Amino acid sequence: MVFLSQYCIIQNMKTKPFKHNFLLILFFIPSFLFSIGNRESQNTLTIYSIRGSSGIGLIRLFESPPSPGSFNVRMEALSQSDLIAARFLSGEAKIGILPPNVAAIISASGRDIRLLAVIGQGMLSLVTLNPELNEINDLRGQTVMVAGQGAVTDYVFRSILVNHGIDPEHDINLNYSLPPQEIAQSLIAGRITTALLPEPFATMVLNNRSDVFTISDIQGEWESMGGTGNYPITLLVADGEFIDSYPNETEKILNAVSESIEWVRNNPLEAGVLTEQHELGFRSDIVSQAIPNSNYIFIPAPAARSSLESLYRMLYEFAPQSIGGAMPPGRFYRE
């Protein structure tokens, strides 16, 4: 239909004055460019990442995207996971990274989204300037700055508090008013005393103040209260129809992601440089120092299922709506 309408326009131009033809040309050019762009977009596959610590494991792919054969792959880092979620819900996104709770909500909406692998596990540190705080039980009556209200990390911390008999609503003041970058800066400046921070922000604080120390082991606390291994924090997911239509391409992308994460773990200095070059939000030296503590990992869906279901059960008990009101179905886990 596009080409037929364009043919009619061209024929009409032969009998019209120049002014009229010029207006038709203005109409014709965008249509022509759109048709070209549309054909190009059909051969382009975007892998969506998050600007921040979650995207660092994929940083090598920003420098050298995978070549699965059927697609020209490009990487794009968005500022928030909600933006990636919106693209999955609209059908635009075919593959990308998401927090576990966001992926579950999309699945509960009826969208066929599937887990490919866990690519990041818990990397939280509870840090303080207060020498009187030595363990979780000492937090009663204290104010703790927490990055990300309603995020997986928030619920994990709340469950740990409850396990110690601390009511998160009444026995402690959890303050969510600052993003992690500002929490880190406020700790360094001494404006706040205690915070729950992910990497690389925790490393940033510890490297800038010798009197800051870590309270307890958050990841160890999770395991001690019944969690199955360390809790997943970053998932690589894909559209179900895409997986079914392009199984070989999916496998090649998975291998490229696995290789990127392994490279990041083994080459923290180079990974830090690439992170700064591709503007994921951190200085290279901070990233390099934080990578050993950041738990970038690659666990394919079948092997990751038990730890993820353990996390989802905790989230469901705390707030069913945080995962869409139901546990993800079996088909959520790619075999």
Residue-wise pLDDT for 120-148, tens only, equals 999 899 999 999 999 999 999 999 999 88
| CATH architecture of residue range(s) 124-224 | 3-Layer(aba) Sandwich (3.40)
Q: Are 59 and 30 in contact (CB under 8 A)?
A: no
| Per-residue pLDDT at 6 | 35
Radius of gyration of the chain (CA): 24
Residue 280: pLDDT above 70?
yes
Question: What is the pLDDT averaged over residues 194-210?
Answer: 93
Question: What is the pLDDT averaged over residues 201-218?
Answer: 92
Which DSSP string corresponds to 178-204? Answer: S-HHHHHHHHHHTS--EEEEETTHHHH
Q: In what order do the strands lie in the sheet with 213-214?
A: 173-175, 143-146, 194-198, 124-128, 213-214
Question: What is the pLDDT averaged over residues 304-314?
Answer: 94
Question: What is the pLDDT averaged over residues 39-47?
Answer: 72
Residue-wise pLDDT for 223-262, tens only, equals 888 777 789 999 999 999 999 999 999 999 999 999 999 9
Q: What percent of the chain has pLDDT over 90?
A: 76
| Per-residue pLDDT at 167 | 97
Q: What average pLDDT does the chain have?
A: 87
| Per-residue pLDDT at 24 | 36
Work out the pLDDT band at 42, boundaries 50, 70, 90.
low
What superfamily in CATH does domain 44-115+235-332 come from?
A: Periplasmic binding protein-like II (3.40.190.10)
Which residue type occupies 28? F
Q: Which of 31-45, 60-74, 122-136, 276-290 has the lowest mean pLDDT?
A: 31-45
> Closest Cα to residue 161, out of 196, 213, 189, 113?
196
- C-alpha 204/C-alpha 188 separation (Å) is 9
Residue 18: pLDDT above 70?
no
- C-alpha 240/C-alpha 330 separation (Å) is 13
- Longest Cα separation, the chain: 89
Q: Are 293 and 123 in contact (CB under 8 A)?
A: yes
| In the block, residue with structure tokens 């619920």 | 155
Residue 302: pLDDT above 90?
yes
| Per-residue pLDDT at 335 | 85
Whether 124-224 and 44-115+235-332 are alike in CATH topology: the answer is: yes
Question: What is the pLDDT averaged over residues 193-201?
Answer: 94
Question: What is the pLDDT averaged over residues 82-101?
Answer: 96
Q: Where are the domains of the chain?
A: 2-37, 44-115+235-332, 124-224
